[in-house]
Homo-oligomer: A and B are copies of this chain.
């Protein structure tokens, strides 16, 4: 009876695991890229890579914001509407003669206000996130349409429109914006205490509360960040298409959520990262870009997208369970 504690093989630490998981989605993305490079010569061209980066950028930023909310166990259906609405606001402000930086700042501030309103609805009014953000979605589109009367507002500032077209060091500005969002988001989520609080609230709000976490403030924070990301995307979209139009970005909320979930975020909260949603968004963008280059019939394209989503998430799940 002297058997001492046998050392059990120590489980892989969770963090490494997460990075590995990220890596393997990355592997999938790279695989897609290799396959497409072989299938069509134009895929690997510099110009197409730039296009691809541009095409995935906006959903990627939305997905990062959305992920903060999903980690707390919530959902933000309003991001598409915020994007559309903010294209209108920034377009109007610029056309009214405000300097671009001021117009952008004001638009971002509006995003913060919308996010705070969501937090208020959830925390103070006790509304389910699904409902309050759905209501904002509906109302914001209405307000935007009312302001523009269904018209698009043509932005009369070429420098502003140029921004999204240009590159810096050979990388499209839009992709720089992803980096600009992703790095602070990564530090915030994985290396700051507020990031920890997002996870803990999503895992068990009551336990967090009893451990001194300000649960309400954490929820405000998550929705504000999501809306802020959306407002930022609104500015980028206005720059890219050169108009303010409240009906734009319809359905982007679902794309953002899908990117996030493909990237490993759990809709039950407490599981998620920053790199996951980014990879998710660029996987979706690659599928569309590839299908366009291969001139796949638009209808087939939808079918393939659906099937690929299933396959990707399935294999990803297999790998995670297998570990």
Binding site for B on A (CB under 8 A): 77, 121, 125-128, 130-132, 134-143, 145-146, 150, 254, 257-258, 261-262, 266-267, 297-307, 309-310, 313-314, 317-318, 321
Contacts and interface: CB of A to CB of B under 8 A. Distances in A.
Complex A-B, nearest 8 residue pairs according to Cβ-Cβ distance, in ascending order = A142-B302, A139-B306, A142-B303, A138-B306, A145-B299, A135-B306, A146-B299, A135-B309
Given A125-B317, A299-B150, A317-B125, A131 B261 contact: yes
Given A127-B317, A146-B297, 10 more contacts: A125-B310, A126-B314, A127-B313, A128-B266, A131-B258, A135-B309, A138-B303, A139-B302, A140-B306, A143-B303
A313 B133 CA distance: 13
Given A126-B317, A126-B321, A314-B125, A302 B131 contact: no
Contacts of A301: 142
A309 B261 contact: no
Nearest to A137: B306
How many copies the complex holds: the figure is 2
Nearest to A145: B299
Nearest to A140: B306
Contact of A130 (B77, B141, B257): B257
A306 B136 contact: yes
A109 to B, nearest CB: 21
A317 B123 CA distance: 13
A142 B309 contact: no
B305 A138 contact: yes
B145 A310 contact: no
A311 to B, nearest CB: 9
Contacts of A298: 145
A145 B306 CA distance: 14
Contacts of A306: 134-140, 142
Contacts of A128: 261, 266-267, 313
Contacts of A257: 130
Contacts of A303: 138-139, 142-143, 146
Nearest to A297: B146
Nearest to A136: B306
13 contacts: A127-B317, A128-B261, A131-B313, A134-B309, A135-B305, A135-B307, A135-B309, A141-B302, A142-B303, A142-B306, A145-B299, A146-B297, A146-B300
A299 B317 CA distance: 43
Contacts of A309: 131, 134-135, 138
Contacts of A135: 305-307, 309-310
Contacts of A142: 299-306
A132 B310 contact: yes
A126 B142 CA distance: 39
A252 to B, nearest CB: 13
Contact of A262 (B131, B297, B321): B131
A254 B143 contact: no
Nearest to A321: B126
Contacts of A297: 146
